[in-house]
Every structure is written in structure tokens, then in C-alpha cells.
Amino acid sequence: MELIGEQKINASREVVFAALNDTEVLRQCIPGCEAIEKTSDTEMTATVVLRIGPVKAKFEGAIELSNLNPPESYTISGEGKGGIAGNASGGADVTLVADGEDTILQYNVSVKIMGKFAQLGSRLIDSTAKKLSAQFFKKFAAIVETQGGS
Amino acid sequence: MNDQTPITREQRIEKLQGQGCSRKRVEDVRFTQGKGNYVDDIKLPGMLFGDFVRSPYGHANVKSINTEAALKVPGVLAVITAEDLKPLNLHYMPTLAGDVQAVLADEKVLFQGQEVAFVVATDRYAAADGVEAVEVDYEALPVINDPHKSMDDDAPTLREDIAGKMEGAHGARKHNNHIFFWEEGDKEGTDKALADAEVVVEEQITYQRVHPCPLETCGCVASMDKITGKLTVWGTFQAPHAVRTVASLITNIAEHNIRIISPDIGGGFGNKVGVYPGYICSIVASIVTGAPVKWVEDRIENLTATAFARDYHMTGKLAATKEGIITGLSAYVLADHGAFDACADPTKFPAGFFSIVTGAYDIPVAHVGVDGVYTNKAPGGVAYRCSFRVTEAAYLIERMIDILARKLDMDPAEIRMKNFIKKEQFPYDSALGWEYDSGDYHTAMEKALDTIDYKALRAEQAENRAAFDRGETRTLMGIGVAFFTEIVGAGPVKNCDILGLGMFDSCEIRIHPTGSATARLGTISQGQGHATTFPQIIASEIGIPAEDITLEEGDTDTAPYGLGTYGSRSTPVAGAATAMAARKIKAKAQMIAAYLLEVHDSDLEWDVDRFQVKGNPELHKTMKEIAFAAYTQAIPGLEPGLEAVSYYDPPNMTYPFGAYIGVVDIDVDTGEVDVRRFYALDDCGTRINPMIIEGQVHGGLTEALAIVMGQDISYDEIGNMSGSSLMDFFLPTAVETPNWETGFTETPSPHHPIGAKGVGESPNVGGVPALSNAVHDAFAHKGLTHTQMPHDHWRVWKTAQSLGLTE
């Protein structure tokens, strides 16, 4: 499944890019994120609770940052295991475009979901993914805008 | 004995409730009161529960399985993996199709939902918690879900366990993902017929992957008694004796020390013929723990991992004259068998009886070829309410005939009548090697056309089409005609066996001193009503009222050996055994009666429930009197007692047939298909219980509706199976089910002792093409040739849209 979208953020590209690499910001923005821990400059581990339709699972996964091209773009990808509920892997290519004082964050997300999640929630996955992505970037914009002002 | 004999002969006949009587189902007394006894109702002291860890991946290496955390879950006693089964040589089990199937994943998983580990716990909840705690490390591999890509040069090898082994159970394999190639008929002659034909039609016709989805899922309770050394397994088995033999062969437990019991079964439809990993794991767990172990799959597991049906990708070619006389048929099939070949077909028929594909038509030359391939899908390929691959064959020929009719601008009913095998041609040798025992197709078709007033329907349709074109209606009317010939009652031992076991069947009848009886059969009812109908056969044969006869099935310690119930074989095979066993009893009864009446055997004649002296019916002995004498008198030259057993090896299959016509109204803007009328005429030979036949037809038609209008087990490109719950998998309720109209003709089978042919599966075989043809017929005048099932609202709307009909 693929998702393409953009979010306008009232902050400079540098501020936005730094936030995209900030585990604390990511923890607050990733829906259902219970913990996130940096294991290297570009690697993290995370625990995320996800619910699609009737299935709820705790995913333990690894997140990796790649194609780092500050302050213009990077790729964030991850893979999580949700036990019998299934597995999820995916990533997002994020590009930052300056728009005056603002930054337009463009994202191209692709997700692969396996197991019970996919079996039971097939008709819900697209809408859930859209909702979660929107939640993430909205929250992200809000945090960055608040921090940018401080 | 002072018999309370009814006065008239008619009353005596009525009292028997024999053949032809719509006797009420005796099973329903317990079912309607919630007193059925299904596998999950069996509760034994100290019973443990098993549950599977299943693969979320369609294709992956299993790098490691960590059971540590699971074993710490309170109540979890053991976690069994392939590594534990290997020393016992039980990590693979034989399938009914000559392949092997992993009981627990051996280093890799090949389909989503495949069994990876078996958790044994003190209760079901603990088992589920244990399953969740097992950590499996997978390494995803590329998935093949399109059978057309299975044999590509660069296709990954799915079955590492047989990689490079190019000789399979059914001959040479041409690729690591190839299972078999099977063919029948005259290829050269068929090619010539196609080359010389005035008209040729060709079409790719797919019968999608569906699932039998019985209301009761599969399950078992295995109990190893370590004191007696006897293993008892209660399970949802359609073939209990075959399960016993297979269990003995793979566990090395002597067959007399294994007792298989099929209790009440809540629907089988082919899903419960095979052997599943759950059975093996439960048996192993019971042997290891010394306690009984229950395993019952849930709905998602049933739809995901136990046997699917169809997934046949067919190419049909018909050669014909301009007048619509068919001169040849070619059929090629790419058969997607999933990860293991676990079809339930007679051994010599890897594509089942697909060669019945010439149907009811006198086709002079034909050829079929079938390639079976592996994919990353669940194993199976069972006969879901049909004899082996018969519904696939009927769907192909019945769609092809409609396509030919359309091409020639002929009426679909007329072209069928033109090509039918004629009554006087029976017994008829088909181009693909079957000997059709009997039939009268023209009479059946004419009766169906008259009953539904076909001419009036076509006139109404012409008006509807004109009104649609004038913009006065958004509904299109479709009329679907189908005529099928089944091939059921497998089968003659000379060519039908499963794992070498001949497909005969059996019946043992014991007449008790007071004139009631117990009959035991090698079959097992899953809802067919055997306890009602088989006593009717006996009642008519030997004059003991059906209500005085108890039928027992499904316990291998007591029932005579038989191959079970599927493929509409119970009445053709076990029903014949029942009649033959009854006739053995009748023969002895005649000798007893002759002794009692002090006449010669040949001076007696049979009348309803008694032997009477020819020309002097006042002198008679009823079967009840004879039975009493058999146990109370010393009769010179005769052994005491009155019982018999018959093992019946049928000389031929039986060939039930039917004419089905459906009428649909399709809303082109929503794609909704409303089945306005459906008439099913079945000829199943001699009718034993018309009410039960009608019930069977209703059920089979409803399953046909389900398949045509919505059932679809599909996989995405990364191996996820969709349609694994009743949220997605279409199971019609009373809301979606139309009113079914039924009718019959009666052409008895000449080789069956009572002329019966079997009916359980006919409605599915005929219902699918009739309903699909109706949907196609609605759009035929707009240029639609063929579109794949299921004809759900979305697809039908897409069809309307592609034809430019939507707004």
C-alpha cells in the first residue's frame, strides 16, 4: 500500500529536519508509540501498539534512517513484529521544500502488512494507514511549530 | 407371535416408511434440541488443549523458534516443533494425493497460516497465551501466488524437500514447482477437429479458489491409553476407516489398537476428508503426555489452512458446425494445488473426474490436459460439494456451450438439445473414456423449459432489453440455462482407490429376535440424513419398518470397513451394500419361512413384509415372525441368527443429471444481482426420500449461489490471504437466499441394486453454471463473452461499466 501526502509546517527546513531525527519528537508523534530508543545515529528500536479493526498488537521493531541529505530529505524505514497478529514493514521518503518561512514536508509512504492484520483488516488497512499518517504529520507539525517558536 | 398386522396391503406398505417416503429426519430430534454430540462436545477427564503457532508469511525461512517464554506461561506443558517430530519421522505426513505435507514447518513456511509449532496446555486460554509467546524468527522469501508464474525459469523453488526429485506420484515433473501432468483423450484427433471446424470458440475460464467452510470447523480429541496401548481419536472425519489405516501406517501403532470415532459432524463438503497436522500433533501430544488432547480450529484457521477447493485455470476450445453441432472439445487446465498436493482424489486420477468435461453432449472427439503446480497458498483441492473436480468440468463445458451459442446466435437451450446424448445411446461411451450408465436428457430439459415457461421468459427479456435501451429501466434480465451430467459413486475397485484402499463400501445388518434391526455402514453422515434414509432401503427390502432400524456409522471398532462419505458415494456404494446385505437376509428368511410353513422355498413369494405361499396369501410368515424363529427354533440345515454383511464393489459409477434454469435481474448501476427464480430438475435415479433430496438440493444450490456471487479466497502479491473470516468470505443467510423450485425425472441406474444414483452434490455442480450463465446472459446482447467469478456487486458493476452501461 502506498500513501502520498504533504504537510505545511511553520518552521525552517533545518528545524524540521532536526526534529525528524529527534527520537523524543518521533516518540510523541508516532501513533501508539510506547517507547523509542536510539541505538546509533541512524538506528532506533521502538515499541508501538497498533489496532486495526478487531486486531490489536504490540509491535517490537527497528527503525532505520537512510539517504540522509540534510536539510532536504531522508528515508525512514522500519520493520515490526506483532507476534500472531502479523508483521509490518515499511518506510517513508520524506522531502522538505522551502516555502518562504514555511517548509512543505512531502511524504511517500509504503507499507507491507502480513498475517492476521492483513487477513482481517484488509478493508481497513488503507483507511487506517491514512488516518495514522495524517495523525503523525499533524502532531509533528504542531510539535515543531511549538519548538520552533521556543 | 400375534402380529398386530395392519389390515390392508397399503397400510402395511405405509407402515414400513420405505423407499419413496418423505420420512422425517430421525437425526433432527437431537439436533433441534441442541443434543447433538460434536467433537467439541467431547470432554474427557484431564483433557489438554492444543493450539498452533502459524506463519504470518506466505513464504519464508524459519531461522529459529524460541519456546522459552511460551513454556513459562502458566498452564503450558509443551511446545512441539518439527525438531521434536523428526526423530519420530512424523514431521511430514502422507497426503491423499501421493505427496507429503509438513506437519510442522520444516525449516521453511510455504503458505500463510502454515503450522509452525503446537502448544499444549491445560486449557484453551493458556494454549492461546502460549502461542502468543512463541518467538519465531522468519526470513521472508519471494512469493508465488500466480500459478501461471509457478513454472517460470526464474521462479524460486518452493518445495526444498523434493527439489530435484523429478519423478512425482503421478509421473514426471518438469519443474521444481510442477506436481504432475495428466491427460486423457485423443489429442491428434481433437486438434484435427479444431483445425477442420467451421466454427471454433476458445475461452480462458477460471474457477476461483473457494472453501467448503462447514459450520463446524475441523478438530479432534486424541486419547492414548498407556495401560491398554489403545489410541482412540474422535474427529471430524469424513472417512474414519481410511484415517485409521493412515494413522496406523504413519505411527506404527497396530491397526487393531487404533479406534477412530466420527461423532456428529456439522457439515463436511470435502473439507473433512483429508488428514491435517492438528490430528497428528494431537496424537503425538497425547502419547507424550499420557492425557487426552483436544484440538479444534477456529474459523480463521479453517478458512486459512484446512483444505480449499477449485483454483482451476481452464482453457476451453469447442469445434462446431455452423448449425451448432459440436465436433470436438479441448480442455487444458493449470491446477493450483497450493504448497502441498493434498487433493482428495482417487489415486489414479490426479485431476479427479475432470474428464467428465464432455458433459451431457455427444462429442465425438476430445482431449484434456492438466498441469498441477505448487504455489504459496494453502494446500487442498478437495471436492467441495461435488464429485472429484466435476463442478470445474461442468462449469467449463456449460460456459463454453453458452459462448458457442452466442457466437452462432443460437438459443442456449436449443444448442444443448441439439447436442445431447440421446436416450437410445445409453449406455454411452464418452470420448474421454467413461461409460455413462443411463440418461434421458431431452425429457429432463423439456420438462424444465416447460415448467419455467422458457419461451415467455425470453419474450419478457426481449421487452426488458428494448425498455433498457429506451432508458425506461436500469435493470437487465438474464436467463441462465445449464445441463449437467455428474459422475459419482466412486468407485469400482479396479480403477478407484485412495492410498491403495479400494473404494468399495459396506453394510452389516443384524436382525434382532423381536424383529427390529441394527445396521452399520462404512460411511459417515455429516448432515446427509443417513440414519433416516438407509433404514428406508432396508425397510423396502426386508419389510421391517424404518423406525425399527437403528443405523450406526463412524466407529471403526464396530462399523465394517468402508471408505466414507464424500463425492456423492454413500447411496451409490454403501446404499448398494445395504440393499445387498438386506437381500442376503431375505434369502435366509425365505428358507426359514419355508421351514415354518412346511413348503418348498420356491413355493414362496415376497410381499411387502412377509413371505407368503404362492396362490395362498393367507399362509404367510412376516419378517418379524421369521426373525423370532431364527433365534428360537432349531431349523435343520440352517445356522441360528439372522444377520448379514455386504462389501459392495460397484461395477460402474453412477451418472445423475439435471436441467437447471435461473432468472436474474441485474441493477447495472449497483451491480446487484437478484435471483428472481431458480428451477432445478434433478434426475438421481430411484428416489429414496424426496424430502431429503429436496433438502440436499436446497443446500447445494445455496452453496452454488455463494460461489457464484461472492466466495473468493484470494492472495495479495506478498502472500496474505484475504477472505479468511466470515466478514469477507460469503456465506449466504436466509436474507440472500432466493426461493428454490425443484423438480425431478426418474431414470434408475441399471447397475445399482435399487437404481439410486446419489444427489448431494448435483445442485452445486449444476447451480454454479446456471447462475453464472444467467449473469452472462444479462449482458450477452451488449457484447459480453466471459467474465470471471465471483459475480459480486463490484465485479458486476465493473462489467456494466466496461460495456458502457453505467451512468
Read off the pLDDT of residues B258-288 as tens digits, 9 standing for 90 and up.
Answer: 999 999 999 999 999 988 999 999 999 999 9
State the average pLDDT over residues B484-500. 92
Q: Coil, strand or helix: which one is B83? A: helix
Interface test with B, best of A59, A60, A84 (most B CBs within 10 A): A84
Cβ contacts of B528 within 8 Å, gap of 6 or more? B565, B570, B692, B696, B760
Beta bridge mates, B481: B661
Query: Given CB atoms, is B714 within the 8 Å cutoff of chain A?
Result: no
Residue closest to B290 by CA, chosen among B518, B537, B45: B45
Q: Coil, strand or helix: which one is B291? A: coil
Weakly modelled stretches of chain A, pLDDT under 50: 149-150
Interface test with A, best of B135, B141, B720, B728 (most A CBs within 10 A): B720
Interface touch A118/B727, C-beta < 8 Å: no
| CA dist., res. B470 & res. B503, Å (int) | 59
A57: left (phi over 0), alpha (psi -120 to 50) or beta: beta
- What was the pLDDT predicted at B731? 95
Give the residue extent of every domain in chain A: 2-149
List of chain B residues whose C-beta atoms are within 8 Å of the C-beta of residue A121: none
Tell me the per-residue pLDDT of B86-107, one tens digit each, with 9 for 90 and over.
999 999 999 989 999 999 999 9
Cβ contacts of B477 within 8 Å, gap of 6 or more? B460, B461, B464, B465, B663, B664, B665, B666, B778
- What was the pLDDT predicted at B781? 96
End-to-end C-alpha distance for chain A, whole angstroms? 37
Q: CB-based burial of residue B287 (10 Å sphere; 0-12 exposed, 13-18 middle, 19+ buried)? A: middle
- The residue that leads in pLDDT, B2 or B244, is B244
Residue A68: all three cell numbers together: 540522509
Alpha helix ranges (H) inside B235-384: 240-251, 277-289, 299-305
Percent residues over pLDDT 90 in chain B:
93
| CA dist., res. B625 & res. B18, Å (int) | 19
> Is a pLDDT exceeding 90 seen at residue B630?
yes
> Is a pLDDT exceeding 80 seen at residue B407?
yes
User: Is-contact B395 B333, C-beta < 8 A?
Assistant: no
Query: Given CB atoms, is B132 within the 8 Å cutoff of chain A?
Result: yes
> Is a pLDDT exceeding 80 seen at residue B48?
yes
In this structure, the number of other CB atoms found within 10 A of the CB of residue B424 comes to 7
Query: Given CB atoms, is B53 within the 8 Å cutoff of chain A?
Result: yes
List of chain A residues whose C-beta atoms are within 8 Å of the C-beta of residue B725: 119-120
State the average pLDDT over residues B470-487. 97
Interface touch A114/B724, C-beta < 8 Å: no
List of chain B residues whose C-beta atoms are within 8 Å of the C-beta of residue A126: none
List of chain A residues whose C-beta atoms are within 8 Å of the C-beta of residue B56: 84, 86-87, 114-116
- What was the pLDDT predicted at B687? 97
List of chain B residues whose C-beta atoms are within 8 Å of the C-beta of residue A116: 56, 300
| CA dist., res. B119 & res. B49, Å (int) | 8
> Is a pLDDT exceeding 90 seen at residue B692?
yes
Distances in Å between the Cα of A98 and the Cα atoms of A12, A19, A25, A105, B161 are 7, 16, 21, 9, 57
| CA dist., res. B421 & res. B288, Å (int) | 59
| CA dist., res. B114 & res. B122, Å (int) | 24
| CA dist., res. A6 & res. B117, Å (int) | 44
List of chain B residues whose C-beta atoms are within 8 Å of the C-beta of residue A113: 720
3-state helix, strand, coil in chain B (%, to 5): 30, 25, 40
Q: Please enumerate residues of A whose Cβ is less than 8 A from a Cβ of B.
A: 83-84, 86-87, 112-116, 118-120, 122-123
Shortest Cα–Cα distance, A74 to chain B (Å): 25
- What was the pLDDT predicted at B278? 97
Shortest Cα–Cα distance, A86 to chain B (Å): 5
B545: left (phi over 0), alpha (psi -120 to 50) or beta: beta
Select the residue of B138, B718, B724 nearest A119 (Cβ to Cβ). B724
Class assignment of domain A2-149?
A: alpha beta
In one letter, which amino acid is B164?
G
Q: Which residues of B are catalytic?
A: 238, 385-386, 761
User: Is-contact B643 B509, C-beta < 8 A?
Assistant: yes
Query: Given CB atoms, is B799 within the 8 Å cutoff of chain A?
Result: no
Cβ contacts of B708 within 8 Å, gap of 6 or more? B767, B768, B771, B772, B775, B789, B790, B791
User: Is-contact B678 B770, C-beta < 8 A?
Assistant: yes
Longest CA span, chain B: 89
Interface touch B56/A120, C-beta < 8 Å: no
Distances in Å between the Cα of B158 and the Cα atoms of A86, B108, B237, B377 are 22, 9, 29, 11
Whole-number mean pLDDT of chain B?
Answer: 96
Beta bridge mates, B379: none
List of chain A residues whose C-beta atoms are within 8 Å of the C-beta of residue B53: 84
| CA dist., res. B171 & res. B181, Å (int) | 7
- What was the pLDDT predicted at A51? 78
- What was the pLDDT predicted at A148? 57
Sign, Cα dihedral of B224, B226, B229, B230: negative
| CA dist., res. B220 & res. B247, Å (int) | 13
Interface touch A119/B716, C-beta < 8 Å: no
Interface touch B721/A113, C-beta < 8 Å: no
Give the residue extent of every domain in chain B: 9-36+505-648, 39-141+217-265+272-305, 308-490+653-802
Class assignment of domain B39-141+217-265+272-305?
A: alpha beta
Q: Using CA atoms in the order B281, B283, B287, B293, what is the torsion angle rounded to 10 degrees?
A: 90
Residue closest to B369 by CA, chosen among B347, B344, B396: B396
Residue closest to B619 by CA, chosen among B608, B635, B603: B603
Select the residue of B132, B720, B725 nearest A83 (Cβ to Cβ). B132
Q: How confident is the model at residue B4 (pLDDT cuts 50, 70, 90)?
A: low
Distances in Å between the Cα of A99 and the Cα atoms of A71, A74, A102, A137 are 14, 18, 5, 17
Tell me the per-residue pLDDT of B113-152, one tens digit each, with 9 for 90 and over.
999 999 999 999 999 999 999 999 999 999 999 999 999 9
- For helices A116-149 and A13-20, give the axis angle rounded to 10 degrees: 140
**CATH number 3.30.365.10 given to B9-36+505-648:** yes
- What was the pLDDT predicted at B487? 95
Q: What is the ipTM of this complex?
A: 0.76
User: Is-contact B668 B475, C-beta < 8 A?
Assistant: yes
Tell me the per-residue pLDDT of B302-341, one tens digit each, with 9 for 90 and over.
999 999 999 999 999 999 999 999 999 999 999 999 999 9
Beta bridge mates, B92: B102
- The residue that leads in pLDDT, B3 or B778, is B778
- What was the pLDDT predicted at B6? 58
| Residues listed for chain A | 150
| CA dist., res. B360 & res. B425, Å (int) | 12
Interface touch B722/A116, C-beta < 8 Å: no
| CA dist., res. B613 & res. B736, Å (int) | 58
In this structure, the number of other CB atoms found within 10 A of the CB of residue B557 comes to 12
State the average pLDDT over residues B595-620. 97
Element (H, E) at B511: strand B505-511
User: Is-contact B779 B799, C-beta < 8 A?
Assistant: yes
For the full predicted model, state whether its pTM sits above 0.80.
yes
* Residue where the block lists cell 487477513: A119
Interface touch A114/B725, C-beta < 8 Å: no
| CA dist., res. A132 & res. B728, Å (int) | 24
Return the CATH number of the domain spanning residue range B308-490+653-802: 3.30.365.10
User: Is-contact B511 B627, C-beta < 8 A?
Assistant: yes
Cβ contacts of A143 within 8 Å, gap of 6 or more? A19, A25, A28, A29
Interface touch A114/B56, C-beta < 8 Å: yes
State the average pLDDT over residues B471-494. 96
Select the residue of B57, B131, B719 nearest A84 (Cβ to Cβ). B131
Q: How confident is the model at residue B716 (pLDDT cuts 50, 70, 90)?
A: confident
Do B9-36+505-648 and B308-490+653-802 agree at the fold level? yes
Tell me the per-residue pLDDT of A30-64, one tens digit each, with 9 for 90 and over.
888 989 999 998 999 998 888 777 677 788 888 89
Tell me the per-residue pLDDT of B757-797, one tens digit each, with 9 for 90 and over.
999 999 999 999 999 999 999 999 999 999 999 999 999 99
User: Is-contact B170 B99, C-beta < 8 A?
Assistant: no
Rounded to the nearest angstrom, the gap between the alpha carbon of residue B243 and the centroid of all alpha carbons in its chain is 17
Interface touch B300/A122, C-beta < 8 Å: no
Interface touch B718/A122, C-beta < 8 Å: no
Tell me the per-residue pLDDT of B428-458, one tens digit each, with 9 for 90 and over.
999 999 999 999 999 999 999 999 999 999 9
Bond preceding residue A71 cis, omega within 30 of 0: yes
